[in-house]
Amino acid sequence: MEENMKTPIYVIGHRNPDTDSVCSAVCYARFKIIITGERYIPKRAGHLNEETQFVFKNLGIKPPEYMRDVRPQVKDVDIHFVDGVDENISIKQAWEIMKKNNVVTLPIASDGILKGLVTIGDISRSYFEVYDSNILSVAKTRFENIVDTLKAKVVTGDTTQIVDSGKVVIAAANPDLMEQFINKGDIVILGNRYEAQLCAIEMDARCIVICEGAAVSKTIIKVAQEKNCAIIVTDYDTYTVARLINQSIPISYYMMHSEGLITFKNTDFIEDIQDVMAKKRFRDFPITDENGKYIGMISRRNLLKHGKKKLILVDHNERSQAVDGVDTADIMEIIDHHRIGSIQTMFPVFFRNQPLGCTATIIYKMYCEHNLVPEKDVAALLCSAIISDTLILKSPTCTADDIEACKKLAKLASIDIEEYGRAMFKAGSNIESRTPKDLFNRDFKKFSVGDVVIGVGQVNCMEQEEVQNIKVKMKDYISTVTGDNGMDMVFFMITNVLDGGSEVLCSGKNASATISQAFNVGTTDDSVYLDGVVSRKKQMLPAIMEALQQ
């Protein structure tokens, strides 16, 4: 079923993904597959933090792959596949393949590796350019090509060799004159005259081409065998043979070699290749995969019909938090539990937003609404997400619905909520060895409040000593990121899960004053301890927004 679906729909969470974002993407994709039978693929928009890594490793589930950018790529276009041909086939064979497949460009490949291209223009050149009589040897033409082109029958001789010397001669003169222009290694085109045939063989011709299907005497065959001269017979007349024989030249003589080709990878972005294609007069461009294997051809015409990626956003609805290139994608659905943000869609979409502690709770509700029981691994992922987002059901964001869902999912997954939650947070709190940059980007989101752009990051710790160590490490770093990506203020929460409070570092114009007003506390060295504040979504962000509006 999946192989037959042309356009997948990607289910993806926010940048700097947390456990809820990643688990919800996997579980909602599974849910959509069950109820629609279509192709939904979970993705993540950033690297997994330690807590989320613990969840997937502990459950033995492969996490979704990383999707850095959702702009349309070459692989989203209808790539025209044309079988690669061998470089030794003749111009005539190449032309027949082009006619059959209605193409103007043939890829030349060996074991899947692109070696070059031959075009309809190259074929035309072989007809209209004037070549001397040595062209077959110059082009290293195979005797097999000559036999095939002339639809000839081999009477005697080895036709597996290559023409690497000699010229093509039409024996229209009498034998006395023929001796003056036939040299060793030549290919001689002649008729049914016994004397001319014998003369050509005696002059050490490499091959004689007998026209109009004339019979060959046993004497001529015997002499030819003694002189290692091949004999082929064709039904064509002399004029036709003379006209066709150059079509036996291998396409390697005309092809553009791979070193001079403009190729694209199937992962290249459409907008990046459009300018290149516009500046070149080529009709088709070859496409290779990540390993350099040829997979097809693309033309400018294909780009007119390129498809946008189709997305379902989970655990966010703000453009600043979405995967790169989201503006170029078709957003099909949004499943979230945060405030309504700045994301825009081209057409109405299914948007489910509920004031719950976790997106995974919403997804569990959707399972129940369809009378579906989550499989054990899905239940474990959903339960992990709720435990993470609600701080083991202790966060002020946690609702009765979250508690009920978490308990039912824990039973399905055979999970002890308290014990498993502590193991999760312990794995996630092993962060003191991380660089300040890693810590800052671990769980960081941007928000817009009017004309003000603020950033709020958060890490969870299990001990107060760890909180203080991270505070010292991050104190100088946080001032360096203000102004990045247009941020006016930055706040960094170091949350003690067990004590239920957060040390908050702040940076930016009026950041200290804003947090002082928001929580009615004083700040020291651009930091403040907020007792009972553990939620960015329900406590930190609303208070800051209210202070900014005032």
Backbone dihedral angles phi then psi of residue 119, each to the nearest 5 degrees: -120, 170
Residue 1 has pLDDT above 60, yes or no: no
pLDDT at 5: 47
pLDDT of residue 484: 62
Cβ atoms 117, 257 nearer than 8 A: no
- DSSP output for 77-132: S--B----B-TTSBHHHHHHHHHHHT-SEEEEEETTEEEEEEEHHHHHHHHHS---
362 compared with 443, residue with greater pLDDT: 362
Please check whether residue 71 is in contact with residue 324, taking contact to mean a CB–CB distance below 8 angstroms.
yes
Contact 136, 202 (CB under 8 A): no
Structure-token match 């929460």, residue found: 493
* Pairwise CA distance, residues 365 & 31, whole Å: 11
Tokens at 451, concatenated: 């004309």
Contacts of 491 (CB under 8 A, 6+ apart): 454, 455, 456, 457, 504, 505, 506, 511, 515, 540, 544
Q: What is the mean pLDDT of residues 522-537?
A: 83
- Arithmetic mean of pLDDT, 133-150: 94
**DSSP letter assigned to residue 375:** P
pLDDT at 432: 64
State the pLDDT confidence band at 3, using cuts at 50, 70 and 90.
Answer: very low
Closest CA to 385 of 315, 444, 463: 315
- Contact indicator for 178, 201 with CB cutoff of 8 Å: no
Distance CA 261, CA 74 (A): 17
Q: Which segments of 37-63 does DSSP mark as H helices, in order?
A: 50-59
365-409 pLDDT, tens per residue?
A: 999 999 999 999 999 999 999 999 999 998 888 999 999 999 999
CA distance linking residue 504 with residue 511, whole number of Å? 11
Tokens representing 384 are 């992990």
CB 331 within 8 A of CB 117: no
Identify the pLDDT of residue 16. Answer: 87
User: Is the Cα dihedral 356, 357, 362, 365 positive or negative?
Assistant: negative
Residue 425 pLDDT greater than 60, yes or no: yes
Instruction: Report the distance separating Cα 406 and Cα 424, nearest Å.
Output: 15
Percent of the chain's residues with pLDDT above 70: 97
How many other C-beta atoms are found inside a 10 Å radius of the C-beta of residue 283? 15
Q: Domains in the chain, please, with CATH? A: 9-72+309-428 (3.90.1640.10), 76-126+253-303 (3.10.580.10), 140-248 (3.40.1390.20), 436-549 (3.10.310.20)
Here the tokens at position 247 are 């079509």
The residue among 132, 227, 150, 144 whose CA lies nearest residue 189 is: 150
Residue 524 confidence (pLDDT): 66
> For residue 443, what are its two tokens?
């769980």
Confidence category of residue 476, pLDDT binned at 50, 70, 90: confident
Q: How far apart are CA 81 and CA 167, in angstroms?
A: 38
Rg over alpha carbons for the chain, rounded to the nearest Å, is: 37
Measured distance CA(297)–CA(94) in Å, rounded: 16
How is residue 542 written in tokens?
């609303």
- Sheet arrangement for strand 230-233: 153-156, 230-233, 207-210, 187-190, 168-170
CA dihedral 372, 377, 383, 385 (to 10 degrees): -110
CA distance 468 to 14: 28
Question: Residue type at 446?
Answer: K
Question: How does pLDDT run across 216-238, given as a tens digit for each residue?
Answer: 999 999 999 999 999 999 999 99
Q: Is the pTM of this model over 0.85?
A: no
Inter-residue contact 41 to 79 (CB < 8 Å): no
What's the pLDDT band for 79 if we cut at 50, 70, 90?
A: confident
Q: CA–CA distance from 436 to each of 442, 471, 526 (Å)? A: 10, 10, 17
* Structure token digits, residue 499: 């004590």
> Worst-scoring range by mean pLDDT, 5-9, 101-105, 142-146, 505-509?
5-9
Are the C-beta atoms of residues 130 and 145 closer than 8 Å to each other? no
